[in-house]
Amino acid sequence: MTMQVEKFTATFGARVTGVELASLTDAAFDQIYDLWLDRALLVFPEQHLTKDEQKAFANRFGDLEFELSPIGNVRKDGSLRANDESDRVVQILKGNEGWHYDSTYVEVQALATVFTAHQVPSKDGQTAWADMRAAYAALDDDLKTRVEGLSAHHSLYHSQRKIGHNPRAGSGYGFDDQEPPLRPLVKIPPETGVPALLIGRHAFDIPGLSEKESEELLQGLTEFACQAPRVYVHDWTVGDAILWDNRCLMHRAHPWDYSEAREMWLARIAGDPLTESGVLEAG
Ligand SMILES: [Fe+2]
């Protein structure tokens, strides 16, 4: 089998065929790893990975941040959740509809994610990604200089409250008592050396700016960043597996009709504490 790579017309991403992720040779993995560093998002159609296979592929990049997890409206018993925002799981799904990086609200943000489709609705429910390397590169010089000197706090409490929810401490992942990590607005992973804007719905409270200035800057950056040619939207087909770099891409889910099942499985790969840690300030 020969690996075929078709680059997307967006500033990032590629569709990769002619590989079986469940049985990759080390040489094929090395090729995928280099392609992932370059394109940041890789779509692998028709993989139909089992949970063990998904986990094994993700583990080639590192340890998982937490166990393989279902994402969607399908309960363990196969029944569907109603679109009811008093349901804590639905609150998280609604939150996922805003542009974000994963895990920036905990001390170590995620390195990458392997996401697979197991049941998909007949329409909608896409996932979109946006290229924060290209976004940074497209800023004018004054704005580049301004953001290079700034940092923001990141909090899942903050982002969930902004959409009208009021999570309690201890009520789920990301809802701990720790201080919100402080992260520079420009992230440069040493592995690539390519700067990317580090913003998104969890970011707030830029030291040195008022709450209003901070919100306006972050909102303005997100609106500028998340538009063509820096966005790719994926229509899922059962069997798809997608790998992305959480150090340079934001993503968001599109809503769907909850009378239809959407069952995805998430393998979130832990970041390197040396390079993906935020600063926890003493309270
Ligand atoms: Fe996410």
Q: What percent of the chain has pLDDT over 90?
A: 92
Query: Is it the case that residue 283 has pLDDT exceeding 70?
Result: no
Q: Which residues surround ligand 1, an ion (CB under 5 A)?
A: 102
Please report, as a single letter, which amino acid is at residue 206: I
CA of 71 to the centre of ligand 1 (A): 10
Q: What is the pLDDT of residue 282?
A: 66
Enter the pTM of the model: 0.97
Distance between CA atoms of residues 204 and 65, nearest Å:
24
- Tell me the per-residue pLDDT of 79-121, one tens digit each, with 9 for 90 and over: 999 999 999 999 999 999 999 999 999 999 999 999 999 999 9
CA of 262 to the centre of ligand 1 (A): 15
Name beta bridge partners: 226: none
Q: Could you identify the residue written with the tokens 């990975």?
A: 49
Name beta bridge partners: 251: 100, 129
Residue 22 carries which DSSP code? G
Name beta bridge partners: 266: 69, 115
Sign of CA dihedral 17, 23, 28, 30: positive
- Tell me the per-residue pLDDT of 119-152, one tens digit each, with 9 for 90 and over: 999 999 999 999 999 999 999 999 999 999 999 9
CA of 255 to the centre of ligand 1 (A): 14
Residue 66: which of 168, 172, 167 has the closest Cα?
172
Please report, as a single letter, which amino acid is at residue 67: E
| Residue 278 DSSP SS3 | coil
Pick the CATH number of 4-271 from 3.40.50.720, 3.30.420.40, 3.60.130.10, 3.30.160.270: 3.60.130.10
CA of 15 to the centre of ligand 1 (A): 21
CA of 27 to the centre of ligand 1 (A): 30
Domain ranges of the chain: 4-271
Burial per residue of 121-160, b for 16 or more beta-carbon CB atoms within 10 angstroms, e otherwise? beeebbbbbbbbbbbbebbeeeeeeebeebbbbbbbbbbb
Under a CB-based contact definition with an 8 Å cutoff, are residues 88 and 28 in contact? no
CA of 141 to the centre of ligand 1 (A): 30
Q: Could you identify the residue written with the tokens 């040619």?
A: 229
Residues 6+ apart with CB under 8 A from 5: 14, 15, 16, 35
CA of 183 to the centre of ligand 1 (A): 18
CA of 248 to the centre of ligand 1 (A): 13
State the first-to-last Cα distance of the chain, in angstroms, to the nearest integer. Answer: 56
67 burial (CB, 10 Å; 0-12 / 13-18 / 19+) is exposed
CA torsion angle 38 128 238 37 (round to 10): 10
